[in-house]
Amino acid sequence: MSHRVVVTGLGMVSPVGLDANSTWLSLVSGKSGAGPITSFDTSCFDTRIGAEVKGFDPLKYMDRKDARHMDRFAQFAMGAALQAVEDAGIQADGLIGDDTGVVIGSGMGGLGTLNDAFHVLQQKGPSRISPYLAPMMMADSASGQVSIRLGARAANYCTTSACASGSDAIGEAMEIIKRGDATVMIAGGADALITPITLAAFNAARALSKRNDEPEKASRPFDRERDGFVLGEGAAIMVLESLDFARDRGARILAEAAGYGATADAFHITQPDDKGAGGARAIKRALTKAGIAPEEVDYINAHGTATSLNDKCETMAIKTVFGPAAYRIPISSTKSMMGHLLGAAGAIEAAICLLVIRNHVIPPTINLTHPDPECDLDYVPNEARQKVVRIAVTNSFGFGGHNSVLVFKEYRE
């Protein structure tokens, strides 16, 4: 028996807001979270801008001792997870236990902690390395910490598939519930990778925008003047439940998690398949599993990184699946405002799809002022749009050739 899966709670920590509501209001107003990086000296870097989370206080969600023993990405995950379970009303009702699991994706885990530890090792020697280093730098530390904090004792693990990590976490959580291995899953993604080594690495790969003098205009998905993505950070977590469990407890249902498709390009370690074939197969698979025809889709939240190849190949993938209907489906890249949250990107963009379905408003793709002729679809340029959205798709494509697509639809009995 396959169980229907619904979403009942959301939590977010993002460059444009510290919870789901503030993030949503910023996005529909077209607010950019990009600016000069403040967490370290960037004067010797080609790129000196990023989309940092501003004003996050981990002590709102944990005591000082626990905060010291968590990397920033795990702090974000904990904050978003506690927001989500409160939003769903499951913690107060004592419903978390043996049948509740946690899957939180992360692209690289506690890289900030590891970066700091290398300095300690070089300057003071191995005897000064903290015994907490290993659990702090592990990519699965966020899922472990959330499981411990909430007492969630079903499946607990991390998905690591580059920029598809958060989407894969939610997709795998859906599958766990569908096959009956849990009734509730706390799932999403978290990353905090605005660090010197990450900035240097992506600069070396020529993936980042160098528009340092205009950070708010740097992320330009589908624009012919795009020159790379803006590095972001944050987390998004959602509570998924089997429909029967949610109905029995009288939960407020935000939307139905209808389909998940994952494929591999098997093409190149950083570049997407040059015809978008892998992404197209993932979209088709997700729609098929959801039982939804392409022409029924009302909105697509694009991966839309503002890199030359990604935007062009994603456009090709969408055209392959949707044919002529591709031109009537509104598509937006919220990375134009939040930057690229890497392992958290797919999770926060999935959460945005839920809010689009709930509010019937589509956030814009800002900075789209010079359309690329090869990217000729409706990318909702610069201003939010009112539209009834009942079915939404979100794409996440990552280094390594990972493609992950999620489908959400308005809940109906």
- 80 and 157 in a single domain? The answer is yes
Q: Are residues 268 and 211 in the same domain?
A: no
Whole-number Cα distances in Å, 94 to 62, 82, 90, 104, 190 = 19, 14, 6, 22, 25
d(CA 188, CA 99): 18
Identify whether 340 is a catalytic site residue: yes
- Whether 30 and 366 have beta carbons less than 8 Å apart is answered as yes
Q: What is the pLDDT of residue 114?
A: 92
Q: What is the pLDDT of residue 94?
A: 77
Structure tokens at 44: 């010797």
Segment 132-145 shows an average pLDDT of 96
* Dihedral sign for Cα atoms in the order 363, 50, 201, 221: positive
Q: Does any domain span residue 358? A: yes
Q: How far apart are CA 124 and CA 126, in angstroms?
A: 7
Q: Is the pLDDT of residue 93 over 90?
A: no
CATH number at residue 207: 3.40.47.10
**Phi, psi dihedrals of residue 299, rounded to the nearest 5°:** -160, 145
Whether 178 and 32 map to the same domain: the answer is yes
| Predicted pLDDT at 274 | 83
If one counts the domains in the chain, the total is 2
Tokens of 332: 């937006």
| Within a domain: 117 | yes
In the chain, % of residues over pLDDT 70 = 99
Average pLDDT of every residue of the chain = 96
Label the pairing between strands 100-105 and 35-36.
unpaired
254 domain residue, yes or no: no
Question: Which pLDDT band, with edges at 50, 70 and 90, does 4 fall under?
Answer: very high
Mean pLDDT for 339-365 is 98
Asked if residues 164 and 263 have their Cβ atoms less than 8 Å apart, the reply is no
Domain membership of residue 253 (yes or no) is no
- If you ran DSSP here, which 8-state letter would residue 250 be given? T
Establish if 288 belongs to a structural domain. yes
- Cα-only R_g, the chain: 20
Same domain, yes or no: 100 and 212: yes
- Mode of pairing for the β-strands spanning 391-398 and 385-386: unpaired
pTM for the complete prediction?
0.97
Per-residue confidence (pLDDT) for residue 238, from 0 to 100: 98
**Average pLDDT of the residues in 341-362:** 98
Per-residue model confidence as pLDDT tens digits over 34-85? 999 999 999 999 999 999 999 999 999 999 999 999 999 999 999 999 999 9
- Give the model's confidence band at 248: pLDDT under 50 very low, under 70 low, under 90 confident, else very high: very high
Marked catalytic residue, from 3, 158, 163, 402: 163
Give DSSP secondary structure letters for 60-86. GTS-HHHHHTS-HHHHHHHHHHHHHHH
Choose one of 185, 216, 248: the last residue of a domain: 248
Nearest by Cα to 188 from 303, 301, 269, 82? 82
User: Which entry of 303, 353, 375, 402 is annotated as an active-site residue?
Assistant: 303
Residues 145, 282, single domain; the answer is: no
Roughly how many angstroms between the first and final C-alpha of the chain, as a whole number? 18
Token reading at 266: 């098997």
Average pLDDT over residues 106-120: 93
**246: Cα within 13 Å, side-chain hemisphere:** 25
Residue 365 DSSP label: B
Whether residues 182 and 326 fall in one domain: no
Among residues 99, 107, 47, which one has the least CA distance to residue 76? 107
Residue 352 pLDDT greater than 80, yes or no: yes
Confidence at residue 1, expressed as pLDDT on a 0 to 100 scale: 67
Residues 239 and 278 in one domain: no
The distance of Cα 52 from the centroid of its chain, to the nearest Å, equals 15
Residue 225 CB neighbours (<10 A) = 13
Strands 255-264 and 5-13: antiparallel
Residue 255, domain member (yes or no):
no
**Residue 189's pLDDT is what?**
98
Q: Confirm whether 170 is domain-assigned.
A: yes
**52 and 101 housed in the same domain:** yes
Q: At what angle do helices 165-178 and 345-359 cross, to 10 degrees?
A: 70
∠ Cα 127 133 136 (to 5°):
170
Give CA separation, 410 vs 25, 239, 309, 353, 389, in Å: 21, 16, 33, 10, 8
Residue with tokens 């907490």: 132
pLDDT at 92: 65
281 and 233 share a domain? no
Q: Look up residue 375 and give its amino acid.
A: C
Domain boundary among 228, 248, 268: 248
CB 7 within 8 A of CB 186: no
- Whether residues 19 and 160 fall in one domain: yes
Which of these is catalytic: 3, 158, 313, 340?
340
Q: Could you give the CA distance from residue 37 to residue 54 in angstroms, rounded to a whole number? A: 11
125 pLDDT band, cuts 50/70/90, is: very high
Query: Is residue 343 within 8 Å of residue 107, measured between CB atoms?
Result: yes
Both 293 and 315 in a single domain? Answer: yes
Per-residue model confidence as pLDDT tens digits over 182-209: 999 999 999 999 999 999 999 999 999 9
CB 302 within 8 A of CB 310: no
Distance CA 273, CA 270 (A): 10
340 found inside a domain: yes
Of 187, 222, 248, the position where a domain reaches its end is 248
Do 223 and 83 share a domain, yes or no? yes
Domain range for 89 is 5-248
The kind and range of the H/E element at 259 are: strand 255-264
